[in-house]
Amino acid sequence: MSDIPCKAVFDTVFFQNGMWFVISVLFVCTGNICRSPTADGVFRDLVQKAGLADQIMADSCGTTAFHVGEAPDPRSCKMAISRGYDLSMLQARKLAHRDFSGFNYILAMDDGHLAELARQCPVEYQNRIRLFLDFHPERRGQSVPDPYYGGASGFTQVFEMIEETAQALLIHIRQQHDI
């Protein structure tokens, strides 16, 4: 494993699409069509722009199987495009048991997701689970509101929260893992 491009030994190393990744982040919401794919797309874009796409990977999933195989909500996609992001390659999937051992960071969009993740997660991986907004310096302990049943302003608010927090998350990962 000496050919893996990393500066330290991490809990998990992943091979996907012909590349090794040393840090992995999973964003989790209910159906994986609004909040978590938005965070996934925004974070991937930041990672790419930082030149770290060969070291950090992101994915997203839902706690339920309501929307498995579907693209993100059209309102999320529209908002993403207006802000310079592309969510078109994302497809909803349900949380799998292997995700607990397979991701370094498992980030819940709200308290309900956090509780569900904690309930399902084996004890040895509990330390990987956190609220996504815990990485935002002014929103620790808060939930990303679900924009699904609201109007366009809810999607705008969610994107703003996610963009700010994704930047803080990337800073944290870079500092924590010396990359």
Q: Which residue out of 130, 139, 146, 174 is catalytically annotated? A: 146
Q: Which residue out of 34, 35, 59, 110 is catalytically annotated? A: 35
Q: Where are the beta strands (DSSP E) in the chain?
A: 14-16, 19-21, 23-29, 56-62, 105-108, 129-131
Token representation of residue 52 = 């770290």
Token representation of residue 76 = 């999320």
HEC states along 65-104?
A: CCCCCCCCCHHHHHHHHHCCCCCCCCCCCECCCHHHHHCC
| Known catalytic residue at 35 | yes
Token representation of residue 173 = 């990962």
**C-alpha triplet 44, 27, 170: angle, nearest 5°:** 45
Q: Could you tell me which of 50, 49, 48 has the C-alpha nearest to residue 19?
A: 48
Separation of alpha carbons 154 and 132, rounded Å: 18
| Known catalytic residue at 146 | yes
Residues in the chain, total: 179
| Known catalytic residue at 139 | no
Q: Which residues are catalytic?
A: 29, 35, 146
